[in-house]
Structures are given as structure tokens and as C-alpha cells.
Structure 1
């Protein structure tokens, strides 16, 4: 089974409704938050994360397409899967959801053979829903309980700005884990980090940043936003410039074409310097 022959408009409509239902629940869960930890004490989860994923799973069940999620749903052999699968992060940015109550997202994508083909990404606090179908551009509209999205506005192609003319979103762990990331920060007009990878990549799609750089994301962190970025003219690869497969965890570089080329140059210089195969990267 592949997405060829499937009604992508119908599937996007189902994805929209799933994300809207989960967002409505997360905005008003009707109970005090119960915060737990998973792999370490900074890896938070709440009953709302799990509940939102269950809501999405119920909404998607009629599609008969398996769901691969951060919390409770897994597709066996997902990294090698050749057919379509939904990929969901019910709350991307749980720490923000708990601590600052902003900059968190509900992220859902349909991935086929490593490529995202449908995206539905909600920024509930901003009241914004972004959607895309591969090859057909990206759209944005208000977060609402109903509607098919026909009134949503196209997200325009982002201007191809140089790294020095825009903000680069580089989370702090990338400064430690990606050689040369500090040079990217120095070269950019400004540096930002919000705490939700999905919204950070989407900021490149919306033209609010020229680049996003991260040393390691899970499929559910990036799949939907990667499609949004690609559909608005950004180049999306691994940090070494190799192709990105949304089925597999790893680094992500999303940037305007001009900024992307400059960042790859800076990162390559840093790697060469670290390996003793080239001159140190110049200060910028």
C-alpha cells in the first residue's frame, strides 16, 4: 500500500479534524496537569500528551493507516516501512506546555517511504493551523472546531535571504552537539530557540527565520514541519547535506537555499578543523 491512489484531500481533512480535536483538548483538559518523566528528569510527559494522542488515534482509525506516535502508538519496523504511516507528536514542546503555556504544537504527518506527504500542524496558543500536501504548497488558517480549510490562506514562498540577513533557530543542545553550530549563530543576524522543533521549523516555512539547525530529532518532532518548510521553498537535509528520511531520527537543517549553502560551508569547515584536515573555520 502506498499513497498512490489515495484521496489526499480526504486524508488531509481527517488529519485536520484530528489535530483540531487534540488541540481543543490540550487547551482545556478539564483537570489539573499530572507531570511525569520518561527517559530522564527533563523529558516530561503529562496525561494530556497521552490523551491527545488517543484522540488523534481515534480520529484516524477510519483511514486504516497505522499510527506511529511519541507516546503510546508504534509501527513495528517503521524505519524501513515502505507504505504510508501517520506520525504524531500530540504535544511537541511539553516543557513549554507545562511551564510557559506557549510555544507548543500538535503535529501530525502522513509519511510514505520516508517522505512526508501530508502535514497538519497546530499552534494552539497562537490560534493557527498550518497544513500541506506534497507538491501543492502550504496553507494557514485560524484554529477552529470545524471547517474544511478551503478558506485558509496560502503560505507564500519564503524569500531566499542569506544567513546574515535573518534569524537562525539553533537550540542549545545543538551548540554542544553539532561542530560549527556556534559559527552559524555568530554569522546569523540573530539567534533564536523556542523549545518546540515543529514550530521552529515552521518558522522557516513562514519566513520568520532563515534557518533551523538541530543535532537530533525523532520523526514525530519534524515530519509535519519538514513538509511545510519544503512546500515554501526551504531546503531540508541532514546537517552534512545528505538527504533526510523522515522515518529515521537524526539531525535536521532547514533553511533558505542561500542560507543552507552557507551553513553547510560553516559546518564543513568546523568538521575539517576538528578532524585536523583543514584550516580552522574563520571567525564570522
Structure 2
């Protein structure tokens, strides 16, 4: 379908979208207990990953409300059966109702609600809301990125020495070896891994993390919203070939990725080779 949307039209939707995402958070928060097991019922999906009744409630709420706001948009979500009709749509909602479910169910505050709207295959609107920490990140293509309404920017660090790095240990170890090969002192500040992938990328966007590493098998719903926020903050999510992430493919699954300020991309990609 040829329905597209301009950044100006997307900007006009922001108040309704903010309200919707905050309402979604209000459905999840009663089940969350800081430092303790969730009150929500838990079961396992095929493949063994956990899901809670909070995931399902937030997903159902967002599908109804977001579809009312942009009725012509298709839908892709972690908790909804994939419908290949999305491949023929220019506008697609990409949603993770609770990114970091394991954190949510164990009482760790680093979980989030991630919502993106694609237009012609590119993220046009992105929200990452971390209710437990009261952090609300958002971006519209071409309009910059904010956290709680204040502009954010990726790190201005010029090199990787003493960079703040987070992600899976095997990838950090590979980055360390690659830099040592090139004669760079890999004296990283290792930041604890952020359970929500969307939130991990958003923290690169705000500049509190310099390099976020992402292991294989991330999905569109983990990445699309935060990717736009990082792009608008002066960074990118890319593969180990340096190419930007592509969304709304038949299989919305990704290989190893890095989330970095633009000025650090080449150094990180070279070291990970």
C-alpha cells in the first residue's frame, strides 16, 4: 500500500502517542515490584522465553489505541502473531510491549515499552519509555531526540580509549582483542549490561554509554524505536559491516550489531572484524 506520512504529520501525533504510551505503562506498573518477583502470571513461549500477563495486556491495549491513531498502519509486535500483510504496507507499527521481560519479572528497573512507526521502511517516530526509572525517550525523523522533553546527544568522545561499553561479554572481549591488535589501549569502562535492548540503545543516544553491543537474534521490535532516537541524537545502529539496520523484512531478525555515535562507528566496526 502507498500510504506514507510526512515528519510534519507525525509531529502532530506526538501528544496522542505520549498519552497512549503512558497509559500502557500504567497497565504494567501494578505488576512490577522493585527488587522482587512480579505479581503477574508468567508462562513460557515456544523457545522458552518468558511472557507475563502484563506483556499481553500492554500489547492488546497498544494494538487497539495505535491502530485508532493511524488506522492505515500495519502491525508487528513481539506478542502478536506475525501477519505478512505488513510487507505490503509503507506504514507499520513496530512494538515491544515490555522489552526486558526478565528484568520486569525479577524486579530490575531496566525494562521499557518500545514503539516505532515506520514509513517507507524507515523509522519515522520512536518512543522508548522506561516507567520504573521515569525516563521517556522520543524522536521524530529530522526533529532531534529528547529524554523527558530535553534534547539529548550521543557521546562526543573522539576515540575508544576509556570508552563506556556495554553488551554481551564475548562481544566486549572481541572488541578488546581487536583494539589491542591495532595498538589501541582497550581500557574500557565496562557498564553493566542493560537488560532492555531498546533502553541500552537509548542510553547510547543520551551519551551515558559510548558503545552498545548487541548479540545476534535481536528483533525489529527490540531496535526500531531506539534506533531512530539514536540516529536523531547523532549515532546509529549498524551491522558489523557498518551498514544501517533494515526493518520490516520477511524475517525481522538481525545479526550482531553495534549502537554507536557516528564518529566511533568505523573504529568499532574495524575492531570487531
The offset of 1:6, in angstroms, is 7.0
Offset from partner CA, 1:144-169 (integer Å, 9 cap, x none): xxxxxxxx222245324422232112
Unaligned runs of 5+ in 1: 142-151, 269-284
Match of 1:274 in 2: none
Distance 1:259 1:188 in 2: 16
The offset of 1:183, in angstroms, is 3.2
Match of 2:118 in 1: 111
Distance 2:50 2:272 in 1: 31
Choose 105-114 or 1-10, whichever is displaced more.
Answer: 1-10
Q: CA RMSD in A?
A: 2.4
TM-score in terms of structure 2 length: 0.84
In the comparison of the two structures, how many residue pairs are matched? 253
1:3 aligned counterpart, secondary structure: coil
Unaligned runs of 5+ in 2: 33-37, 181-185
Q: 1:249 aligns with which of 246, 253, 256?
A: 253
Match of 2:209 in 1: 209
Match of 1:170 in 2: 167
Q: 2:100 aligns with which of 75, 81, 93?
A: 93
The offset of 1:263, in angstroms, is 1.2
User: What does 1:185-204 correspond to in 2, within 5 Å?
Assistant: 187=186, 189-192=188-191, 193-204=193-204
Runs ≥4 in structure 1, deviation > 6 angstroms?
none
Distance 1:74 1:40 in 2: 16
Residue 154 (structure 1) aligned with residue 158 (structure 2): no
User: What does 1:25-40 correspond to in 2, within 5 Å?
Assistant: 25-29=27-31, 32-40=39-47
Distance 2:157 2:141 in 1: 20
The offset of 1:19, in angstroms, is 1.3
TM-score in terms of structure 1 length: 0.81
Match of 1:9 in 2: 11
Offset from partner CA, 1:47-101 (integer Å, 9 cap, x none): 10010011111211222022211002534154x4450111000000000000133
